[in-house]
């Protein structure tokens, strides 16, 4: 009985339990092997992704302060006479001879330093048609030069400048046109020179304008001229001691070293004080020298104190403001480039950290899978050995059984 029980139990173990255990362990070993192989591949991928680096960015160079450059246009503007001289004339039809109270128009000019009050604003030099007119300076000799043409030069509060009234020669043209019964136009040319408030004068200029004559009553109209503002360019610098420079400026205005020389020398020597700059400031002195070289040919005894020397401070402040603006722009560009480089570096570090984390997780999974594979391998090997032993026993039993059967057959014969 017991022999049959153990025989049955061994049969169950050999044919059911051990094959099932071997199959399960074999599947587990294969799964662990695949998991380890895949984890190693994933770890390798993350390792390659952990090599990110921020792209190299060339930073703008550190701003190197330049010497503030005196705005030489401001210096030149103080020494430049008026320009764009023009005559604002009556634009209607002149239908009857005019008397001295009927102003035909006035002269205008663009002057950076402004035009002085009459009679110091304009001078007539002649011209091909000067005999047709009689000049009038402001309101001198006239009760109201705008009385007959209130819309000619604006409102009554408009300041009247050097103007023209008709001479008898011009009135003869008016009479002839009225007698002919048709409107006639004629251009006139007058040679004029203008002065500004600092005494700078313009180049002589031929000023042309047109008048109309005829039988129709005058139609008063305002002729608005657009005044274009001259924009001058900006300048550069040199260096030299202050006293030498002041002496050179004084020599330009008074080569004979008279009273004007010493007066200009003292004024030129205190220009840094007036600008709020130390007299030993080499940068300022260099700019001061450059401005002098730039305006040397324009400097006269009349404009050096009122025009050239006061313009230095204004030009210096303009140059310093431009220098500060350029420095702030350069610094802003550099800071922006630094911020972009830091952002790129932070992004690369974040990608590398994520890749390192993924690689470490994959390596841990691979190590775990290898451990499981090792744990399964030993019992699986034992089971395979037992299966091999069982197969050998079965073969031995069959051989023994065959031998016994053969002996029995021989005995029966």
Same domain assignment for residues 185 and 114: yes
| Domain-located, residue 74 | no
Same domain assignment for residues 125 and 35: no
Same domain assignment for residues 105 and 10: no
Token code pair at residue 206: 């031929």
CA distance 375 to 382: 12
Between residues 228 and 335, the one the model is more confident about? 335
**Least confidently predicted of 71-75, 204-208, 347-351:** 71-75
Residues forming beta bridges with residue 164, ordered by sequence position: 105, 135
Same domain assignment for residues 125 and 199: yes
Q: Which of 213, 248, 280 is where one domain is finished? A: 213
Print the domain residue range for 157. 82-213
Structure confidence at residue 233 as a pLDDT band (50, 70, 90): very low
Q: Which residues contact 216 (CB under 8 A, 6 or more apart)?
A: 93, 95, 183
| Domain-located, residue 269 | no
Q: What is the mean pLDDT of the chain?
A: 75
CA 353, 355, 358, 364 torsion-angle sign: negative
Same domain assignment for residues 7 and 89: no
Q: What is the tally of structural domains in the chain? A: 2
Same domain assignment for residues 119 and 180: yes
Q: Which of 213, 247, 267 is where one domain is finished? A: 213
Q: Output phi, psi for 394, to 5 deg.
A: -60, -40
CA-based radius of gyration for the chain: 55
Same domain assignment for residues 136 and 23: no
Cβ atoms of residues 244 and 285 within 8 Å: no
Same domain assignment for residues 130 and 207: yes
Please write the tens of the pLDDT for every residue from 353-410: 888 888 888 888 888 888 887 887 777 777 666 666 666 767 776 777 777 777 776 6
Same domain assignment for residues 45 and 108: no
The predicted model gives 62-74 an average pLDDT of 68
Cβ atoms of residues 104 and 163 within 8 Å: yes
CA distance 18 to 174: 140
Same domain assignment for residues 46 and 100: no
Residue 139: which CATH number?
2.60.40
Pairing of strands 103-110, 184-194: unpaired
Q: Which of 213, 232, 252 is where one domain is finished? A: 213
Same domain assignment for residues 49 and 92: no
Same domain assignment for residues 89 and 190: yes
Token code pair at residue 378: 């030993």
């Amino acid at each position: 009985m017991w022999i049959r029980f153990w025989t049955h139990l061994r049969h169950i173990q050999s044919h059911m339990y051990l094959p099932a255990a071997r199959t399960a362990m074999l599947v587990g070993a294969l799964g662990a092997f695949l998991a380890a192989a895949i984890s190693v591949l994933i770890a390798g991928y993350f390792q390659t992704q952990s090599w990110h680096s921020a792209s190299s960015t060339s930073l703008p160079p550190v701003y190197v302060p330049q010497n503030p450059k005196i705005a030489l246009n401001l210096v030149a503007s103080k020494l430049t006479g008026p320009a764009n001289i023009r005559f604002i004339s009556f634009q209607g039809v002149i239908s009857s001879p005019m008397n001295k109270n009927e102003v035909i128009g006035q002269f205008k000019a663009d002057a950076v330093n402004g035009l002085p009050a009459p009679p110091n604003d304009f001078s007539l030099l002649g011209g091909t048609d000067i005999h047709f007119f009689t000049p009038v300076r402001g309101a001198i000799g006239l009760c109201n030069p705008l009385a007959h043409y209130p819309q000619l030069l604006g409102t009554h509060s408009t300041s009247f400048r050097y103007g023209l009234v008709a001479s008898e020669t011009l009135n003869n043209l008016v009479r002839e046109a009225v007698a002919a019964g048709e409107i006639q136009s004629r251009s006139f040319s007058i040679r004029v020179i203008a002065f500004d408030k600092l005494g700078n004068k313009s180049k002589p200029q031929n000023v042309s304008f047109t008048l109309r004559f005829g039988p129709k009553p005058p139609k008063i109209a305002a002729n608005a001229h657009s005044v274009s503002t001259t924009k001058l360019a900006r300048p550069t610098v040199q260096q030299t001691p202050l006293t030498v420079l002041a002496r050179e400026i004084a020599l330009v205005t008074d080569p004979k070293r008279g009273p004007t020389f010493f007066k200009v020398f003292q004024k030129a020597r205190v220009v840094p004080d007036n600008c709020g700059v130390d007299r030993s400031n080499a940068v300022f002195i260099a700019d001061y020298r450059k401005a002098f070289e730039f305006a040397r040919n324009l400097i006269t005894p009349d404009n050096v104190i009122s025009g050239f020397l006061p313009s230095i401070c204004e030009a210096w402040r303009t140059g310093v403001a431009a220098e500060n603006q350029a420095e702030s722009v350069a610094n802003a560009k550099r800071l922006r480039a630094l911020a972009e480089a830091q952002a790129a570096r932070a992004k690369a570090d974040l990608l590398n950290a994520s890749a390192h984390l993924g690689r470490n997780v994959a390596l841990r999974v691979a190590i775990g899978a290898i451990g499981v594979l090792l744990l399964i391998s030993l019992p699986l090997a034992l089971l395979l050995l037992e299966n091999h032993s069982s197969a050998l026993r079965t073969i031995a039993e069959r051989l023994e059984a065959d031998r016994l059967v053969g002996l029995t057959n021989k005995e029966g014969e």
